[in-house]
Structure 1
């Protein structure tokens, strides 16, 4: 996916160069509480994760990873990614993470809107899904602001916390 801009953000390829900015929030329990990975203990953890995911994004058409960057100061404040799957790679499920210093300012809703548009345009994705733990009301609100609605409840196994019940939302597209 090409780099794209919103009113306040740039969505660009994430890289190991973003590790310091990522570590700033990835080390916080409040951030990883609902994620599939544990808080990072050192900068090396953020470097390893970014290295692994950015390589996967370059090598596979079925994975997209973007850094969410503030235009005003070029600071990476989060990431957004998607796994593309299904017959003809027409389905995608996204995930995101944001530095809590930037919560409740509309940044994630803004990033997700543009990210979803690009998944449709550049990758020909027809169905977009997102999942959240029931208690993660902030993620639910971000998805609802982006025309997403309840689809199903699923159970997934996360290495750091075992089986988790997730609420899965699907984009409602009016074409």
Structure 2
């Protein structure tokens, strides 16, 4: 499946086609720190971690003129019961710093959310952002996400905010 927007193509990532570009993108200091890749203390573990992400069915690349400029990672959310639910998802996303503040992520997320609404499987999407990442918080608000709570990330030790989007069923 590929989704086309005015400026982007969004498609599933794969190890065979996208590993080198994905590794280069996640190695950028701003991306690594913001997405938590810098928490992997053993550099030899990074290729394995990246390949696992690329194999995940919810890993999408954002391509502009055939260049990977970002990613959206969509995972089944683990509920209070400890079980994953395909009806509830958690989303994370990142862009190359050269693509920041150009509207690419809002464009991509709007298109992906529309696609998910049409599929009518996922009912809610949760997203977290660092409390000081105003651009990401503004993005979530613009997309219709509602504030849920603020918490201190136990691994990173930084404040985060949690937002949720309830997908509206499409009537046909």
Normalized against structure 2, the TM-score is what? 0.79
Counterpart position of 1:60: none
Q: Residues 174 and 125 from structure 1, CA distance in 2 versus in 1: closer, same or farther, beyond 3 angstroms?
A: closer
Aligned to 1:84: 76
Q: What does 1:15-164 align with in structure 2 at a 5 Å threshold?
A: 15-16=14-15, 17-38=17-38, 47-57=47-57, 64-70=58-64, 73-85=65-77, 86=79, 89-122=86-119, 124-158=121-155, 161=156, 163-164=157-158
Q: 1:45 to 1:112 in 2, by over 3 A?
A: farther
1:157 CA drift (Å)? 3.6
Counterpart contact for 1:5–1:11, Cα < 8 Å: yes
Hey, what's the Cα distance between the residues in 2 that align with 1:19 and 1:46?
12
In 2, distance between residues paired with 1:118 and 1:35?
24
Gapped runs of 5+ residues in structure 2?
none
Following superposition, the deviation at residue 99 of structure 1 comes to 0.5
Which residue is equivalent to 2:11?
A: 12
Q: Which residue of 1 aligns with 2:160?
A: 166
When the two chains are superposed, the root-mean-square deviation of aligned CA atoms in Å is 2.8
How far 1:88 sits from its partner (Å)?
Answer: 5.4
Q: Which runs of 5+ in 1 are unaligned?
A: 58-63
Aligned residues: 162
TM-score (norm 1): 0.78
Conserved 8 A contact 2:76-2:89: yes
- Following superposition, the deviation at residue 132 of structure 1 comes to 0.3
Distance of 1:98 and 1:113 partners within structure 2: 15
Report if aligned partners of 1:34, 1:132 keep a CA contact under 8 Å in 2. Answer: no
Q: 1:96-128: CA deviations, max 9, x gaps?
A: 010111111000011111112222322511111
User: 1 CA distance for matches of 2:115 and 2:101?
Assistant: 24
Q: 1:68 and 1:47, CA in 2 relative to 1: closer, same or farther beyond 3 A?
A: farther
